[in-house]
Protein backbone atom coordinates (compact mmCIF):
# COMPACT_ATOMS: atom_id res chain seq x y z
CA UNK A 1 0.00 0.00 0.00
CA UNK A 2 2.75 2.46 0.96
CA UNK A 3 4.75 1.72 -2.20
CA UNK A 4 1.65 2.10 -4.39
CA UNK A 5 0.78 5.47 -2.87
CA UNK A 6 4.39 6.65 -3.18
CA UNK A 7 4.53 5.58 -6.83
CA UNK A 8 1.32 7.43 -7.73
CA UNK A 9 2.53 10.57 -5.99
CA UNK A 10 5.92 10.30 -7.70
CA UNK A 11 4.17 10.06 -11.08
CA UNK A 12 3.16 13.73 -10.75
CA UNK A 13 5.13 16.30 -12.78
CA UNK A 14 8.30 17.45 -10.97
CA UNK A 15 7.94 14.79 -8.27
CA UNK A 16 10.36 12.10 -7.16
CA UNK A 17 11.06 9.63 -4.35
CA UNK A 18 14.36 10.27 -2.55
CA UNK A 19 16.31 9.07 0.50
CA UNK A 20 17.47 12.47 1.78
CA UNK A 21 15.29 12.36 4.91
CA UNK A 22 14.54 15.66 6.71
CA UNK A 23 17.62 17.36 5.26
CA UNK A 24 16.04 17.11 1.82
CA UNK A 25 13.44 19.73 2.76
CA UNK A 26 16.08 22.35 3.52
CA UNK A 27 17.91 21.53 0.29
CA UNK A 28 14.73 21.76 -1.78
CA UNK A 29 13.76 25.06 -0.15
CA UNK A 30 17.23 26.51 -0.83
CA UNK A 31 17.05 25.38 -4.46
CA UNK A 32 13.68 27.10 -4.87
CA UNK A 33 14.86 30.32 -3.21
CA UNK A 34 17.93 30.42 -5.49
CA UNK A 35 15.85 29.71 -8.61
CA UNK A 36 17.40 26.32 -9.34
CA UNK A 37 14.04 24.50 -9.31
CA UNK A 38 10.57 25.58 -10.36
CA UNK A 39 7.44 26.03 -8.32
CA UNK A 40 5.58 22.78 -7.70
CA UNK A 41 8.58 20.52 -7.06
CA UNK A 42 7.62 17.65 -4.75
CA UNK A 43 9.58 14.98 -2.90
CA UNK A 44 8.27 11.74 -1.41
CA UNK A 45 10.35 10.30 1.39
CA UNK A 46 10.49 8.16 4.52
CA UNK A 47 12.21 8.61 7.86
CA UNK A 48 13.38 6.29 10.65
CA UNK A 49 11.40 5.81 13.87
CA UNK A 50 11.41 9.06 15.85
CA UNK A 51 9.39 12.05 17.00
CA UNK A 52 9.72 15.18 14.86
CA UNK A 53 8.99 18.61 16.30
CA UNK A 54 8.53 22.11 14.94
CA UNK A 55 11.04 24.90 15.58
CA UNK A 56 8.61 26.45 18.08
CA UNK A 57 8.60 23.33 20.28
CA UNK A 58 12.36 22.95 19.85
CA UNK A 59 12.79 26.32 21.58
CA UNK A 60 10.94 25.27 24.75
CA UNK A 61 13.20 25.11 27.81
CA UNK A 62 12.19 21.56 28.68
CA UNK A 63 13.09 20.20 25.22
CA UNK A 64 16.51 18.70 26.15
CA UNK A 65 15.13 16.74 29.11
CA UNK A 66 12.00 15.67 27.22
CA UNK A 67 14.05 14.58 24.20
CA UNK A 68 16.31 12.51 26.44
CA UNK A 69 13.32 10.76 28.04
CA UNK A 70 11.77 10.13 24.63
CA UNK A 71 15.02 8.69 23.25
CA UNK A 72 15.30 6.32 26.21
CA UNK A 73 11.72 5.23 25.48
CA UNK A 74 12.70 4.38 21.89
CA UNK A 75 11.69 7.65 20.24
CA UNK A 76 14.65 9.88 19.29
CA UNK A 77 13.69 13.49 18.57
CA UNK A 78 14.45 15.54 15.45
CA UNK A 79 13.50 19.07 14.37
CA UNK A 80 11.85 19.96 11.06
CA UNK A 81 11.56 23.28 9.22
CA UNK A 82 7.79 23.60 9.21
CA UNK A 83 5.33 24.59 11.92
CA UNK A 84 2.82 22.68 14.03
CA UNK A 85 3.67 20.51 17.03
CA UNK A 86 4.85 16.85 17.16
CA UNK A 87 4.48 14.06 14.59
CA UNK A 88 5.84 10.54 14.24
CA UNK A 89 8.19 9.15 11.60
CA UNK A 90 8.50 5.37 11.31
CA UNK A 91 7.99 2.56 8.81
CA UNK A 92 4.40 2.93 7.61
CA UNK A 93 4.55 6.74 7.57
CA UNK A 94 4.98 8.42 4.18
CA UNK A 95 6.20 12.01 4.00
CA UNK A 96 5.46 14.35 1.11
CA UNK A 97 7.07 17.80 0.80
CA UNK A 98 6.42 20.46 -1.83
CA UNK A 99 7.70 23.96 -2.67
CA UNK A 100 5.60 26.68 -4.29
CA UNK A 101 6.43 30.27 -5.18
CA UNK A 102 4.22 32.78 -3.39
CA UNK A 103 2.94 35.37 -5.85
CA UNK A 104 2.64 39.07 -4.99
CA UNK A 105 3.73 40.72 -1.77
CA UNK A 106 1.76 38.55 0.65
CA UNK A 107 3.02 35.74 2.82
CA UNK A 108 0.34 33.10 2.53
CA UNK A 109 0.63 29.32 2.69
CA UNK A 110 -2.92 28.63 1.47
CA UNK A 111 -1.94 28.07 -2.16
CA UNK A 112 0.76 25.60 -1.16
CA UNK A 113 -1.53 23.75 1.25
CA UNK A 114 -4.24 23.49 -1.39
CA UNK A 115 -1.88 22.15 -4.07
CA UNK A 116 -0.33 19.59 -1.71
CA UNK A 117 -3.64 18.36 -0.31
CA UNK A 118 -5.32 18.11 -3.71
CA UNK A 119 -2.47 15.97 -5.00
CA UNK A 120 -2.60 13.59 -2.04
CA UNK A 121 -6.40 13.36 -2.01
CA UNK A 122 -6.33 12.48 -5.73
CA UNK A 123 -3.69 9.78 -5.15
CA UNK A 124 -5.73 8.31 -2.29
CA UNK A 125 -8.80 8.21 -4.53
CA UNK A 126 -6.84 5.99 -6.94
CA UNK A 127 -6.45 3.57 -4.02
CA UNK A 128 -10.21 3.66 -3.43
CA UNK A 129 -9.96 5.94 -0.36
CA UNK A 130 -12.25 8.97 -0.62
CA UNK A 131 -10.58 11.60 1.55
CA UNK A 132 -11.21 15.26 2.27
CA UNK A 133 -9.52 18.04 4.27
CA UNK A 134 -10.33 19.84 7.49
CA UNK A 135 -9.78 19.87 11.26
CA UNK A 136 -10.14 16.74 13.40
CA UNK A 137 -11.06 17.31 17.04
CA UNK A 138 -8.70 15.72 19.61
CA UNK A 139 -6.10 14.76 17.01
CA UNK A 140 -2.45 15.60 17.54
CA UNK A 141 -0.93 18.45 15.52
CA UNK A 142 -4.42 19.46 14.43
CA UNK A 143 -5.04 22.06 11.73
CA UNK A 144 -7.39 23.17 8.98
CA UNK A 145 -5.52 21.18 6.35
CA UNK A 146 -5.58 17.66 7.78
CA UNK A 147 -6.38 14.95 5.25
CA UNK A 148 -9.32 12.94 6.61
CA UNK A 149 -11.31 9.80 5.94
CA UNK A 150 -14.74 9.53 7.54
CA UNK A 151 -13.80 12.35 9.90
CA UNK A 152 -10.63 10.63 11.10
CA UNK A 153 -7.14 11.93 10.46
CA UNK A 154 -4.99 10.20 7.85
CA UNK A 155 -2.37 12.93 7.50
CA UNK A 156 -1.31 16.18 9.06
CA UNK A 157 0.23 19.07 7.18
CA UNK A 158 2.52 21.95 8.06
CA UNK A 159 4.24 24.81 6.27
CA UNK A 160 7.22 27.14 6.33
CA UNK A 161 7.71 30.33 4.30
CA UNK A 162 11.09 31.84 3.48
CA UNK A 163 12.19 34.90 1.47
CA UNK A 164 15.49 35.43 -0.37
CA UNK A 165 16.74 36.92 -3.61
CA UNK A 166 13.41 38.62 -4.21
CA UNK A 167 11.57 35.31 -4.02
CA UNK A 168 9.05 34.08 -1.49
CA UNK A 169 8.76 30.30 -1.27
CA UNK A 170 6.30 28.19 0.69
CA UNK A 171 7.36 24.70 1.78
CA UNK A 172 4.44 22.44 2.68
CA UNK A 173 4.74 18.99 4.19
CA UNK A 174 2.34 16.10 4.78
CA UNK A 175 2.87 13.22 7.20
CA UNK A 176 0.65 10.33 6.02
CA UNK A 177 -0.16 7.35 8.24
CA UNK A 178 -0.31 4.55 5.68
CA UNK A 179 -0.12 1.63 8.12
CA UNK A 180 0.92 0.77 11.66
CA UNK A 181 -0.27 1.40 15.20
CA UNK A 182 -1.66 4.94 15.42
CA UNK A 183 -2.57 4.41 19.08
CA UNK A 184 1.12 3.86 19.85
CA UNK A 185 1.97 6.99 17.86
CA UNK A 186 -0.54 9.09 19.79
CA UNK A 187 0.66 7.75 23.14
CA UNK A 188 4.30 8.56 22.32
CA UNK A 189 3.44 12.08 21.17
CA UNK A 190 1.20 12.78 24.18
CA UNK A 191 3.84 11.61 26.67
CA UNK A 192 6.56 13.68 25.01
CA UNK A 193 4.45 16.84 24.88
CA UNK A 194 3.47 16.42 28.54
CA UNK A 195 7.19 16.24 29.36
CA UNK A 196 7.46 19.56 27.54
CA UNK A 197 4.82 20.99 29.87
CA UNK A 198 2.04 21.05 27.26
CA UNK A 199 -1.58 19.96 27.62
CA UNK A 200 -1.56 16.91 25.35
CA UNK A 201 -5.03 15.39 25.37
CA UNK A 202 -5.42 13.37 22.17
CA UNK A 203 -7.85 10.64 21.18
CA UNK A 204 -6.34 7.69 19.30
CA UNK A 205 -9.74 7.12 17.67
CA UNK A 206 -9.40 10.52 15.97
CA UNK A 207 -6.72 8.90 13.80
CA UNK A 208 -6.65 6.08 11.28
CA UNK A 209 -4.43 4.74 8.50
CA UNK A 210 -4.72 4.57 4.73
CA UNK A 211 -4.59 0.79 4.99
CA UNK A 212 -7.57 0.70 7.38
CA UNK A 213 -9.53 3.18 5.28
CA UNK A 214 -8.84 1.14 2.14
CA UNK A 215 -9.91 -2.13 3.73
CA UNK A 216 -13.12 -0.69 5.17
CA UNK A 217 -13.92 1.12 1.91
CA UNK A 218 -13.44 -2.13 -0.02
CA UNK A 219 -15.79 -4.02 2.32
CA UNK A 220 -18.38 -1.28 2.07
CA UNK A 221 -18.15 -1.33 -1.71
CA UNK A 222 -18.81 -5.06 -1.75
CA UNK A 223 -21.74 -4.62 0.62
CA UNK A 224 -20.47 -7.36 2.96
CA UNK A 225 -18.64 -7.47 6.23
CA UNK A 226 -17.01 -10.44 7.93
CA UNK A 227 -18.79 -11.77 10.98
CA UNK A 228 -17.71 -9.96 14.14
CA UNK A 229 -16.29 -6.90 12.35
CA UNK A 230 -17.81 -3.56 13.23
CA UNK A 231 -17.22 -0.59 10.98
CA UNK A 232 -16.13 2.49 12.89
Q: What gap in Å lies between CA 105 and CA 210, rounded to an integer?
A: 38
Written as one string, the DSSP assignment of 134-160 is ---TT-TT--TT-EEETTEEEEEEEEE
- Mean pLDDT in residue range 160-186: 96
Percent of the chain with pLDDT over 90: 90
Print the domain residue range for 55. Answer: 2-220
**Residue at 232 is within a domain:** no
The whole-angstrom separation of Cα 2 and Cα 17 is 12
User: Confidence class of residue 226 from pLDDT cuts 50, 70 and 90?
Assistant: very low
141 is a catalytic site residue: yes
CATH number at residue 40: 3.30.930.10
Give the pLDDT confidence of 104-130 residue by residue, as tens digits: 766 789 999 999 999 999 999 999 999
Quickly state the pLDDT bin for 222 (edges 50, 70, 90).
Answer: low
pLDDT above 80 (res 190): yes
In a domain, 230, yes or no: no
Span 127-152, pLDDT tens digits: 999 999 999 999 999 999 999 999 99
Least confident of 35-39, 178-182, 193-197, 227-231: 227-231
Is 57 within the bounds of a domain?
yes
Catalytic hit among 117, 141, 174, 186: 141
Is pLDDT above 50 for 64?
Answer: yes
Query: How many structural domains compose the chain?
Result: 1
Mean pLDDT score of the chain, rounded to an integer?
A: 93
Per-residue pLDDT at 220: 72
Amino acid sequence: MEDRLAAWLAAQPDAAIDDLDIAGDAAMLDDALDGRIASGRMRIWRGPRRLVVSPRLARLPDLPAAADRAARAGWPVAVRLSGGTTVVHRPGILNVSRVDMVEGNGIDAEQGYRALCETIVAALARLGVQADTGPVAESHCDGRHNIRWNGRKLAGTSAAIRQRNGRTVCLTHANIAVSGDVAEDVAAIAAFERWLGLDALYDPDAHTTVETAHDKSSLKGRGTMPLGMVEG
